[in-house]
A and B are shown apart, each in its own frame.
Chain A
Amino acid sequence: MSTTTDQTTDHAAIDDSIAQRRELTWWQGVTRSQPFWVLMAIFMLCIVMSQVSDVFLSERNIFNVSRNFAFVGIMALGMTAVICTAGIDLSVGSLMGLAGIATGLVMQAGYGIVPGFLICMAVAGAVGLTNGILIAYLRMAPFVVTLGMLAISRSLAMVISNNRMVYQFGPDQALYLWLGGSSTFGVPHPVWALGVLTITFWIAFNHTTWGRWVYAVGGNAQAARLSGIPVERVLLSVYVICSLCAGLSAFLMVGWFGSVTNALGQTQELNVIAASVIGGANLMGGVAYAFGAPIGALLMELIRNSLLLAGIDALWQQFFVGLFLILAVFLEQLRNRGRA
């Protein structure tokens, strides 16, 4: 923090320079944000990879990459809202399993795709509501609550599936597989969902009171409360939204796979959190970017894809994801230090 107590400085000059200093332009705001620099890293990676591999820029590969990252990206959007309130949701991976199995069982029993989708979202909503109530109203630590829910959801998925795979989806099977695995105008359906959701989250974060309150709660919950913001309701909402995103992601993923086991989404929570954080969300709360979620998820998928195409053992994949995660946080620290 700079001080202005030094009596030898020329205060008139300082005041003039303050008055003349322009506020941040739109472009400066963009270039100061974490997602922008991750996007630059992605472009660099693409340029390098297009030299290394002929396949990299092929339509087929781009299609695969875009579809693969969409599932994590959708969940990372919800996770970004949670992290913005200085919370965390470890249960999203297990919830994918539970919601996916629930959808599969309902459709296998002969119900259509609409009941299947509604059940999927209802299960997700119930898990999110439980998380949210425990965290917001009973003031329990998000880490512990959602860690417990991670175990509970996975166990419930195993119980209701009786540890069997579901691969028949009743009368709407063809429609469901098309929805999850096909594309419209050359863009896979999960990517459409990600795109629409990203824009929705961007509007919600930047142009609604809900978004403003999410940032405020993450920045200083006590100040938010004194300002009359319903802090508990805001916290509840982010956990429900995060779970609904996981539910939607599970719904689309099962349609893509054409089958579902209770292992669906295992360890995905780590990828989702990593994507949010690489995209600029700060675990201390108060900082989040809607566009950070898909960009973070895209970088992680590109690393995976690049290693594969470059002929490097897939066992190295998590190593590089971890490396980028740490690097992203380190760079953000550096930029903040420069600014303070």
Chain B
Amino acid sequence: MAVVELRGISKSFGAIRALNGVDLTIERGEAIGLMGDNGAGKSTLMKIIAGNFPPTSGDFLIDGLPVHFSRPIEARQKGIEIVYQDLALCDNLTAAQNVFLGRELKRGFGPIRFLDHGAMNARAAKLFAELKSETRPRDLVRQMSGGQRQAVAIARTRLSDPKLVLMDEPTAAISVRQVKEVLDLILRLKETGHAVILVSHRMPDVFTVCDRVAVLRRGEKVADKPVRNSSPEEVTGLITGALAAA
């Protein structure tokens, strides 16, 4: 059964129809590249999945059960984790503090509870080791490279063993070597059975790590096929409208 299933999702903002009957299914351990030009409806679809707002019509199912989100925290509680384009990290905190932000581990007696620094640092170190990242839990995020920052943002999504990780342009603003690090991180997520949606403008990234590619144009899904049956040229044609559908 699909981890996440979208059926006939539409979204209107007043007279503007941003999404029109979009279907999308994702299995465990599968990565989907979500592509489309600016204004194609990518970010609207993302925000619906992330729980920023509900769709105007259509069904949203997780493990076959319908869900309704109106706030991001509700999506997170249902096992959907987002890696935002700007990563949403606090530069003045350490890697471990960012990983546990809003979900701090505490210990104490009864109502008197203090932060459990040791446990959080140890758990964060383990997460970074699983991601094979050289990020150290006690380092300040301010002093980190782009790849390390991505690792912190991704480690955070793994804290709760999510069903789906949604990544928004994770490779847009980092160097070539760091892109490889991030793509490795995505492969690691797939290996551990997480479903991944990768929103990206970069064709090579999608074709390297994704199993399927879905293309949106003017609010409609015009293609959804395995990457091995497609090509960057075809996807470019689908995005621009040179190809009607595939």
Contacts and interface: CB of A to CB of B under 8 A. Distances in A.
Contacts of B117: 207
Contact of A219 (B90, B134, B176, B177): B90
B165 to A, nearest CB: 15
Q: Which of A15, A24, A219 has the most CB of B within 10 A?
A: A219
Given A219-B91, A223-B88, A212 B73 contact: no
B90 A228 contact: no
A1 B145 contact: yes
A156 B112 CA distance: 39
B126 interface: no
Given A2-B145, A339-B143, A216 B93 contact: yes
Nearest to A336: B142
Size category, B interface: 20 to 34
A222 interface: yes
B222 to A, nearest CB: 31
Contacts of A227: 88, 101-103
A220 B175 contact: no
Interface string A22-58: 0110000000000000000000000000000000000
B8 interface: no
A216 B115 contact: no
B79 to A, nearest CB: 14
Nearest to B136: A23
A18 B84 contact: no
Interface string B163-179: 00000000000011110
A24 B138 contact: yes
Given A3-B145, A223-B101, 15 more contacts: A4-B145, A19-B134, A208-B115, A209-B106, A212-B104, A212-B115, A219-B92, A219-B93, A222-B88, A226-B72, A226-B82, A226-B88, A227-B102, A339-B143, A340-B142
Interface of B: 72-73, 76, 82, 84, 87-93, 97, 101-104, 106, 113-115, 117, 134, 136, 138-139, 142-143, 145, 147, 175-178
Interface of A: 1-5, 15, 18-19, 23-24, 203, 206-209, 212, 215-216, 218-220, 222-224, 226-229, 286-287, 339-340
19 contacts: A4-B145, A4-B178, A15-B134, A18-B136, A19-B134, A206-B115, A207-B115, A208-B114, A208-B115, A209-B106, A212-B101, A219-B90, A223-B89, A224-B101, A226-B82, A226-B84, A228-B73, A229-B101, A339-B143
Top 6 closest pairs, chain A to chain B, by CB: A286-B92, A227-B102, A219-B90, A223-B88, A219-B92, A228-B102
